[in-house]
Structure 1
Amino acid sequence: MKFHRGDNKSGSHLLPNVSEIQLPEDFHWPDGARIAVLITFDFQAELGTPVLPTGKPDYMELTERQYGGRRGVWRILEILERNGVKASFMISGRTAEFYPQATRAIHEAGHDIGGHAYLHESLWEMNREQENEVIRKTKQVLEDISGAPLVGWRSPQIRASENTLNLLLENGFIWRSDYLNDDLPYLLKVNGKTMVEIPYTVATDDAQLYMPGSVRRQGGGATVAPGPYGNPRNALWVWQDEFDVLYEEAKREPKMFIVTMHPYISGRANRSKAVEGMLKHIKGYPEVWFSRTIDVAELLRKQYVKS
């Protein structure tokens, strides 16, 4: 029996005046691929570091996260180059200012760059004007430093506000990765404009695998969880299982595998072996399309968005 892929092909959405359009039954990935693979990274480095209960800086946590900009991102870039994979990096504006060489290297290596707010702020806590200023500033900073146009976005903590979609469209964005509700991208239409939604998956986020609940608190900071959660081999098993199930299902209909990592987490030496192991596992299968977020967005816009 073939089960229906979804019940919201074209209809109402979570937000008022927004219609959601899923892909048609005859949709397919390029070159006969059965599955698209998106390797994504959230690169905020030390931004958003929690403080201690006394209100003073948590230097343990701060310097742990700085590792992502100083060392981790470079190790990740080497792994991607070694395996011939193009990825997508969601970068916070202030992070790009802290690490301009890394930001430019990401673009020059052919990876896609999406916005991840300026200070890794909680957008849902802001009013419309405040959020718009964050989006505009992030866009300006990342474009100035990377030299590439910024047309994609992932909100910090994967928590958009009720204004995020409209503000992104008003500022010229064409894709975002803020929802978690599908195995395939889809379209959001509002006020005559179209956004490509590329769903994120919390189950494959390295922060959840190494720090469940996004962080375990101890003394005000985040700690790597003990036991199997902190084991890179466990992360590799999760990524492989997620891919294997989707790949098998993709015999019947197209699927998308998306994984999210952080340079300060998966860029550590022992954890980087899990990253490379995942890439080698996936590359062992035929009919796989390694895609950047912009590639997915442009594919859908070319096929389904009228100019």
Structure 2
Amino acid sequence: MSEPWQWDEQIWRGHVERVRAGRPLRPDSWPGRAKVAVALSFDSDHETIPLRDGEILPGKLSQGEYGARVGVPRILKLLDRFEAPSTFFMPAVSALLHDGEAKSYVDAGHEIALHGWIHERNTQVPPGAERDLAFRAADTLERLTGVRPVGIRTPSWDFSEHSLEIIRELGLTYDSSLMADDDCYEIVADGEPTGIVELPVEWIRDDMPYFMMERFGAQRPYTPPRGVLSIWRDEFDLALAEGGVFQLTLHPHVIGHRSRVAILTELLEHIVSHDGVWFATHAQIADHVGKDLSR
């Protein structure tokens, strides 16, 4: 196989354009004349990350269990206080391990969405396995909640060569794994519009890079909680000024600790101190901006 510096234009251009950002989907207005859409999301990974890596000893598993046991109840209580419908991206194995949790999200007015089977590394499994796991996860979440998911966040935000094809085959309306904009856009595949809304993520707006700890790795918490609060508050303020989307990715086993729920609370207090805020699930935002796709 040739080295990248040896590729001709057809090769490198083909790789770049396989999955690309298409037309921007920032609407002229948000529902209720809101000035900004706030899309809170929680990846309820729980024990699936160590399980995915074959780590079966109690230590790492207990860290994931904390998310379900302590983090989720705190988060649901906080979201209820601020009347903030949110999206929970949940691996199917997490939903099966914690009986009733996925249903509790839906019952509380939140959205349940796909996040893999066991938080698998979808870029490292065979294409047929990636497809099978995605469909099995969708069937499982539908069976447990009574609602068929309409959106996906790929595990670790990874896209294989086949991920978009699988998303289209599942009939999903949106993805939330890519990073080509601050606001929503339509995904384009090999130059052709797909009709799928991308609600982009970013590591800046994710709790794990700031707060995760790996004993035997290089990952260490390096920003104090209120330093993170300052970053997220600035992200919201500019989203408000631009009339766009403020999207946040959180994990119950990370943000659920006391000092971190405290800054999430302060962030939400800051958000609701402004007029014209629309708290919405990812599906609601995708539906709203997706209306432009038919024009």
* TM-score of the two chains, using structure 1 as the length reference: 0.83
Match of 2:254 in 1: 265
1:40–1:258 Cα contact (<8 Å) kept: yes
SS of corresponding position for 1:161: coil
**How far is 1:148 from its partner?**
0.9
1:21 corresponds to: 23
Distance across 2 between alignment mates of 1:236 and 1:58? 33
Separation in structure 2 between the aligned mates of residue 127 and residue 57 of structure 1, nearest angstrom:
24
The aligned counterpart of 2:144 is: 145
Is the CA contact 1:154–1:177 (under 8 Å) kept in the aligned structure 2? yes
Equivalent-residue separation in structure 2 for 1:263 and 1:23 (angstroms): 30
- Whole-angstrom CA distance in 2 between matches of 1:70 and 1:165: 34
Alignment match, 1:6: none
Partner of 1:196: 197
Aligned-residue offset at 1:74:
1.1
1:244 is aligned to 237
TM alignment of 1:28-67, pairs within 5 A: 28-49=29-50, 57-67=56-66
Residue of 212, 215, 218 corresponding to 1:218:
215
CA distance 1:219–1:23, shift in 2 (3 Å): closer
| More helix as a share of residues | 2
Q: Deviations over 1:60-115 (max 9, x none)?
A: 22211110012211110011001111111100000000113111110111111110
Partner of 1:162: 161
* Alignment size in residue pairs: 280
What do you get for the CA RMSD once the two structures are aligned?
2.5
Which residue pairs with 2:3 in the alignment?
A: none
Distance 1:244 1:301 in 2: 24
Q: How far apart, CA to CA, are the structure 2 residues paired with 1:56 and 1:19?
A: 36
Point out which structure has higher relative CO (alpha carbons under 8 A, 6+ apart).
2
Aligned partner of 1:235 among 224, 228, 234: 228
Correspondence 1:288 to 2:277: yes
**Once the 2 structures are TM-superposed, how far is the Cα of residue 56 of structure 1 from its aligned partner?**
6.3
Paired with 2:38 and 2:150, the residues of 1 have a C-alpha distance of: 20
Aligned pair in 2 of structure 1 residues 195, 131: CA closer, same or farther (>3 Å)? Answer: same
Contact 1:115–1:154 (CA<8 Å) still a contact in 2? yes
Give yes or no for the alignment of 1:256 onto 2:258. no
CA contact (8 A) 2:25 2:290 kept: no
Paired AA for residue 228 in structure 2 = A
Instruction: Check the 8 A contact 1:15/1:162 in 2, yes or no.
Output: no
Distance change in 2, residues 1:13/1:289 (3 Å)? farther
Pairwise CA distance, 1:156: 0.9
1:209–1:235 Cα contact (<8 Å) kept:
yes
How big is the shift at 1:194? Answer: 1.6
8 Å CA contact 2:187, 2:193 repeated in 1: no
Q: What's the offset of the Cα at 1:13?
A: 8.9
CA distance in 2 between partners of 1:47 and 1:194 (Å): 31
- Per mean C-alpha deviation after superposition, the further-off stretch among 180-189 and 104-113 is 180-189
Summarize the alignment of residues 98-117 of structure 1 with structure 2, pairs less than 5 Å apart.
Answer: 98-117=97-116
Q: 1:149 to 1:75 in 2, by over 3 A?
A: same
Q: Secondary structure at the match of 1:60?
A: helix
| Amino acid across the alignment from 1:45 | H
Tell me the secondary structure at the aligned position of residue 88 of structure 2: strand
TM-score by length of 2: 0.87
Aligned to 1:72: 71
Deviates more, 1:189-198 or 1:90-99: 189-198
Calculate percent identity across the aligned residue pairs.
Answer: 28
Structure 1 regions of 5+ residues with no counterpart? 1-11
